[in-house]
């Protein structure tokens, strides 16, 4: 059996070597691409490492080189990235004021960490130990004043793009953005639709972090935030329920006090020129079903009645359903769409090696297609309207012997021949050709020269990938790459996590999101298999308390005590609890005490013990609903 060996190019004057594995400090070129084993190639060295006592390992070269040993003097080992790197110990820079205000050392450098320096003063930042730079100012932040005495807002940042401020000017409120703060102007209340004589007035005053709120717009109007109110979008009515907008028949949808709304499409069988127009009935198509249209002259049907043939109306006409197709067409059955379509009669196919058409034996009618003569002896065609082709001869196997006929040719199909031997392929009935070799495979199968799939892998590369992992074919490799898991020496693709990117796994049910974060708008719940769930959007009546993060959902304002919501973040409503059923004993039963009897006495408070437990449980349920804000 052939065993894979890896070549190491010898130094000048020395012979090359072939070994079962690469030596320490070398890696197999080709990295995570198992289709290119390549040479044993050096990992390289770090120029700032100590002169002795250092070794290296890697899988792809300097980009993931790991180092064991120490760095040279005035360097430290940074192990935070994909590759270990000896970095220079940095000097402490200056405060924003300049050289007269230096940053000074707090902790000395170690073998694996740079020195630390005193932090930059408020309002400035630095990259690592460098010179401090001014934070980007936040416009309209609170400025210092003497009368009255007010201290300026404190500005902080860690880069030029993440400035945070403690307060805004009196006419502004702070907006805590995802990257930096901003100060937005407090807006004035606009007017109702009637104009300046009907102003919207303040409901809640502005705070340090929120704009004022104003009375809502009147029915049938809307506004963006606190602005002037405008009329909802004008929409026509549906044909089935004509009413005056915006009553039940109106096409207006999605309108509210903060949204203009849009016009819904007309129902099937009706149309309108635009959103403001009322819907009108489409022109009927006789013997058709599923009527739709875009205008009074473009009626369409999804099907014709049984036995009727369909003809498209084209760009500007109606579809038609006719009892008999017109001259030159026939009612062709279709498995999808129209059951019968008026289709142009087919033209007979040509004779092999000629442009001459085969004879028409029966002309097409309104219900049947053209019938053509069969192909001549030694030729075939899949149908009567395709050009005839020569019947092909059986080729040869790659070694020893010919392929022989299995099924004889007919007028509609070529002959079939015995299959090519394992590890070979052929185009149709031609000669068999050897499959393209696969690195690490001892046996392969294929149907072309570009889709070889291993059937058996060498002992040194036992992990088999299915076709499609590398180019069009499968491969053998010594380990399963990221995104695949080892299923008894077959590398199976990990199950995707919906609404996330790349994953890793150890089985078909343990997919973990590689980046630790879902797609935008979703948060991750870690478990045996990670799950990405859509972020909750808080209803306007329950303002957001905390924005969603990579691993936690949005938190909305809790519902008042005794209220809950049907959906997360939804509108709050009173929680109802059914009253406990009364228990009534039959006269004379053991549970009903006779007057003056000592038995059947109610517990303290006069309520039966069972009902006491029921009421207590209901109280706990209501308390839990209130606590979680449902």
Q: For the segment 263-272, what is each residue's pLDDT rounded down to a tens digit? A: 999 999 999 9
Instruction: Please give the helix or strand (H or E) that residue 622 lies within, else none.
Output: helix 609-628
Q: Which tokens is 228 given?
A: 């002037």
Count of residues making up the chain: 630
Q: Which tokens is 52 given?
A: 């002795």
Least confident stretch, 155-159, 249-253, 275-279, 434-438: 249-253
288-291-295 Cα angle (round to 5) = 125
Is residue 50 over pLDDT 90? yes
**How far apart (Å, rounded) are the C-alpha atoms in residues 48 and 86?**
6
Q: What percent of the chain has pLDDT over 90?
A: 59
Query: Residue 512: which of 493, 531, 491 has the closest Cα?
Result: 531
Is residue 41 over pLDDT 50? yes
**How far apart (Å, rounded) are the C-alpha atoms in residues 128 and 113?**
12
Is residue 59 over pLDDT 50? yes
Q: Where are the alpha helices (DSSP H) in 157-302?
A: none
pLDDT of residue 8: 54
* Bond before 531 cis per omega within 30 degrees: no
Token pair 């974060």 in the structure block, residue: 517
Instruction: Please give the helix or strand (H or E) that residue 69 lies within, else none.
Output: none
What single-letter DSSP state applies at residue 328?
T
> pLDDT: is 584 or 548 the higher one?
548
- The number of C-alpha atoms within 13 Å of 576 and in the hemisphere containing its C-beta is 3
pLDDT of residue 628: 38
- C-alpha dist (Å) from residue 383 to 142, 349, 356, 394, 410: 84, 8, 16, 23, 12
Q: Which tokens is 610 given?
A: 């069972």
> pLDDT: is 332 or 588 the higher one?
332
**Contact between 176 and 184 (Cβ < 8 Å):** no
Is residue 174 over pLDDT 90? yes
Confidence band of 474 (pLDDT split at 50, 70, 90): low
**Contact between 420 and 403 (Cβ < 8 Å):** yes
Q: Which tokens is 175 given?
A: 């907006």
Average pLDDT in the chain: 84
**How far apart (Å, rounded) are the C-alpha atoms in residues 96 and 124?**
7
pLDDT of residue 438: 83
**How far apart (Å, rounded) are the C-alpha atoms in residues 490 and 474?**
11
Q: Is the dihedral of CA 61, 64, 69, 72 positive or negative?
A: positive
Which residues have C-beta within 8 Å of that of residue 504, sequence separation ≥ 6?
482, 483, 494, 511, 512, 514
pLDDT of residue 210: 95
> pLDDT: is 299 or 249 the higher one?
299
Q: Chain centroid to CA 299: how far?
A: 38
Token pair 């959103």 in the structure block, residue: 275
* Bond before 148 cis per omega within 30 degrees: yes
Q: Coil, helix or strand for 628? A: helix
Is residue 165 over pLDDT 70? yes
What single-letter DSSP state applies at residue 288?
E
pLDDT of residue 597: 41
> pLDDT: is 456 or 245 the higher one?
456
Instruction: Please give the helix or strand (H or E) that residue 147 lies within, else none.
Output: none
**Contact between 248 and 241 (Cβ < 8 Å):** yes
pLDDT of residue 369: 94
Q: Which tokens is 193 given?
A: 């639709």
Tell me phi and psi for residue 617, to 5 degrees: -65, -45
Query: Residue 235: which of 267, 216, 260, 263 has the closest Cα?
Result: 263
pLDDT of residue 596: 40
Q: Which tokens is 380 given?
A: 């075939």
pLDDT of residue 504: 93
> pLDDT: is 421 or 590 the higher one?
421
Is residue 282 over pLDDT 90? yes
pLDDT of residue 572: 83
pLDDT of residue 624: 36
pLDDT of residue 625: 39
pLDDT of residue 601: 38
pLDDT of residue 614: 39
Is residue 460 over pLDDT 80? no
Tell me phi and psi for residue 248, to 5 degrees: -60, -30
Token pair 């209901």 in the structure block, residue: 618
Torsion of CA 411, 414, 417, 422, to 10 degrees: -150
Is residue 598 over pLDDT 50? no
278-284-289 Cα angle (round to 5) = 110
Q: Is 303 exposed, middle or buried (0-12, 13-18, 19+ CB in 10 A)?
A: middle
- The predicted model scores a pTM of 0.49
Q: What percent of the chain has pLDDT over 70?
A: 83
**How far apart (Å, rounded) are the C-alpha atoms in residues 145 and 452?**
79
508-513-515 Cα angle (round to 5) = 155
Q: What is the mean pLDDT of residues 62-73?
A: 95
Q: Is 174 exposed, middle or buried (0-12, 13-18, 19+ CB in 10 A)?
A: buried
Q: What is the mean pLDDT of residues 313-342?
A: 85
* Bond before 246 cis per omega within 30 degrees: yes
Q: Chain centroid to CA 181: how far?
A: 30
Q: For the segment 537-583, what is each residue's pLDDT rounded down to a tens digit? A: 888 778 888 888 999 999 988 888 888 887 787 778 877 655 555 44
Is residue 286 over pLDDT 50? yes
Is residue 508 over pLDDT 50? yes
Q: For the segment 139-161, what is each residue's pLDDT rounded down to a tens digit? A: 999 999 888 888 999 999 999 99
**How far apart (Å, rounded) are the C-alpha atoms in residues 604 and 419?**
93
pLDDT of residue 543: 80
């Amino acid at each position: 059996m052939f065993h894979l060996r890896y070549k190491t190019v010898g130094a000048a004057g020395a012979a090359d070597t072939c070994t079962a594995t690469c030596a320490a400090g070398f890696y197999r070129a080709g990295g995570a691409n198992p289709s290119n084993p390549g040479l044993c190639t050096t990992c390289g060295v770090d120029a700032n490492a100590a002169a002795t006592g250092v070794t290296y390992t890697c899988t792809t070269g300097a980009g993931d080189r790991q180092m064991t040993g120490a760095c040279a003097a005035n360097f430290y080992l940074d192990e935070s990235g994909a590759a270990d790197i000896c970095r220079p110990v940095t000097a402490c820079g200056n405060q924003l004021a300049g050289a007269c205000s230096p940053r000074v050392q707090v902790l000395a450098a170690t073998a694996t960490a740079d020195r630390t320096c005193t932090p930059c003063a408020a309002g400035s930042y630095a990259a690592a130990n460098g010179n401090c730079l001014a934070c980007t100012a936040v416009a309209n932040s609170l400025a210092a004043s003497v009368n009255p005495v007010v201290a300026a807002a404190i500005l902080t940042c860690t880069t030029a793009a993440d400035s945070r401020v403690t307060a805004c000017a009196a006419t502004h409120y702070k907006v805590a953005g995802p990257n930096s703060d901003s100060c937005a102007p407090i807006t004035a209340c606009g007017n109702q639709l009637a104009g300046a004589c009907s102003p919207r007035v303040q409901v809640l005053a502005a705070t340090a972090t929120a704009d004022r709120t104003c009375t809502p717009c009147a029915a049938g109007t809307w506004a963006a935030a606190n602005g002037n109110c405008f009329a909802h979008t004008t929409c026509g009515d549906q044909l089935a329920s004509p009413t005056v907008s915006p009553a039940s028949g109106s096409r207006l949808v999605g309108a509210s006090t903060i949204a203009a709304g849009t016009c819904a499409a007309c129902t099937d069988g009706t149309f309108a020129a635009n959103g403001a127009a009322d819907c009108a009935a489409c022109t009927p198509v006789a013997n058709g079903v599923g009527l739709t249209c875009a205008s009074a002259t473009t009626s369409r049907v999804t099907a014709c009645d049984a036995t009727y043939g369909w003809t498209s109306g084209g760009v500007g006409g109606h579809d038609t359903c006719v009892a008999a197709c017109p001259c030159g067409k026939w009612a062709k059955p279709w498995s999808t769409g129209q059951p019968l379509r008026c289709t142009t009669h087919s033209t007979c196919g040509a004779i092999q090696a000629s442009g001459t058409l085969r004879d028409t034996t029966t002309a097409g009618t309104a219900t049947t297609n053209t019938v053509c003569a069969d192909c001549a002896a030694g030729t075939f065609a899949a149908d009567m309207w395709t050009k005839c082709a020569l019947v092909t001869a059986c080729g040869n196997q790659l070694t020893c012997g010919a392929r022989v006929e299995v099924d004889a040719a007919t007028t509609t199909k070529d002959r079939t021949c015995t299959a090519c031997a394992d590890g070979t392929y052929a185009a149709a009935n031609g000669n068999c050709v050897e499959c393209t070799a696969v690195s690490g495979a001892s046996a392969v199968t294929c149907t072309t020269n570009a889709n070889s799939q291993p059937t058996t892998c060498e002992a040194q590369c036992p992990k088999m990938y299915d076709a499609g992992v590398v180019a069009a074919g499968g491969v053998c490799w010594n380990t399963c790459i990221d995104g695949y898991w080892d299923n008894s020496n077959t590398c199976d693709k990990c199950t995707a996590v919906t609404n996330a990117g790349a994953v890793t796994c150890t089985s078909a049910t343990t997919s973990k999101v590689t980046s630790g974060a879902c797609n935008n708008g979703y948060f991750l719940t870690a478990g045996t298999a990670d799950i990405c769930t859509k972020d909750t959007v808080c209803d306007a009546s329950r303002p957001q308390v905390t924005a969603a993060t990579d691993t936690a959902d949005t938190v909305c304002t809790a519902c008042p005590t005794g209220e809950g919501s049907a959906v997360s973040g939804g509108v709050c409503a009173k929680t109802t609890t059914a009253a406990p059923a009364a228990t009534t004993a039959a006269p004379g039963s053991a549970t009903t005490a006779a007057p003056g009897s000592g038995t059947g006495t109610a517990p303290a408070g006069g309520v039966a013990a069972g009902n006491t437990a029921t009421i207590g449980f209901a109280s706990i349920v209501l308390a839990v609903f209130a606590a979680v804000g449902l």
